């Protein structure tokens, strides 16, 4: 009896006991699952500024409003009304903060592919999650810093920061 109780408690504390990631109700917004409530929260899109002269893609502000702890990135989910565009695949970038902005080289911004990594490009997997949603899976060991995931529309991104533990 005691062994069964210990096994039951161990199972209850495992990741299997966490609530499943629900389907987003709002399309074309990136959501993360709140660790305490299990509910999805949208990451607001941020407008991308392109500086052709400096060859940079920039975001206003040195830090994203949405913050996660290092090693504690929650599940990320996005839903589409008709599925993702054929030519779009999830893209993620590390941004460098300076002078009240966050930026990455324009070449990295426009040409990231899974087979052609560039400095600042972060590998990101995209898996079917539900009927119209996909789960985005960045590397588990993201170092502290500022990050952005592209929006298929192209002129906005979903930005978040990873803080040291």
User: What is the structure's pLDDT at 5?
Assistant: 38
Whether the Cβ atoms of residue 122 and residue 138 lie closer than 8 Å to each other:
yes
Q: Does the pLDDT of residue 15 top 80, yes or no? A: no
* Residues 55, 104 contacting (CB under 8 angstroms): no
What are the tens digits of pLDDT across the range 21-56? 777 766 678 899 888 888 899 999 999 888 888 888
Domain ranges of the chain: 19-163
**What is the average pLDDT value for the chain, to the nearest integer?**
77
CB contact at 8 A, 43 and 30: yes
Count CA within 13 A, CB hemisphere, residue 42.
11
- Local structure of 112: helix, strand or coil: coil
3-state DSSP assignment of residue 148: strand
How do residues 2-13 score in pLDDT, each as one tens digit?
Answer: 444 344 334 344
> Is 76 or 110 the better-scoring residue by pLDDT?
76
Per-residue pLDDT, 60: 94
Which two structure tokens, joined as six digits, stand for 62? Answer: 């040195």
* Percent of the chain as helix, strand, coil, to the nearest 5: 10, 40, 50
**Phi and psi at residue 11, in whole multiples of 5°?**
-65, -40
Per residue in 123-150, pLDDT (tens digit) is 888 888 888 788 888 888 899 999 999 8
Q: Closest Cα to residue 21, out of 78, 80, 63?
A: 78
- How far apart CA 137 and CA 60 sit, in angstroms, is 25
How far is the C-alpha of 96 from the C-alpha of 156, rounded, in Å? 17
Q: What pLDDT does 24 receive?
A: 72
Provide the pLDDT for residue 13. Answer: 41
Residue 85, pLDDT above cutoff 80: no
Tens of pLDDT, residues 87-97: 456 678 899 99
DSSP H stretches of helix in 19-129: 106-111
Element counts in the chain: helices (H) and strands (E): 2, 14
């Amino acid at each position: 009896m005691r062994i069964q109780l210990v096994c039951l408690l161990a199972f209850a504390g495992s990741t299997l006991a966490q609530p499943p990631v629900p389907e987003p109700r709002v399309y074309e917004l990136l959501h993360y699952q709140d660790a305490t409530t299990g509910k999805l929260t949208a990451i607001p899109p941020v407008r991308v500024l392109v500086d052709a002269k400096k060859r940079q893609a920039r975001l206003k502000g040195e830090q994203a409003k949405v913050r996660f702890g290092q090693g504690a990135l929650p599940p990320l989910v996005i839903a589409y009304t008709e599925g993702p565009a054929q030519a779009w695949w999830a893209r993620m970038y590390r941004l460098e903060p300076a002078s009240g902005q966050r930026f990455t080289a324009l070449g990295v911004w426009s040409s990231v592919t899974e087979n052609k990594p560039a400095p600042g490009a972060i590998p990101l997997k995209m898996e079917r999650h539900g009927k119209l949603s996909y789960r985005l899976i960045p590397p588990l060991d993201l170092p502290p810093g500022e990050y952005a995931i592209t929006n298929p529309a192209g002129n906005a991104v979903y930005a978040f920061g990873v803080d040291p533990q």
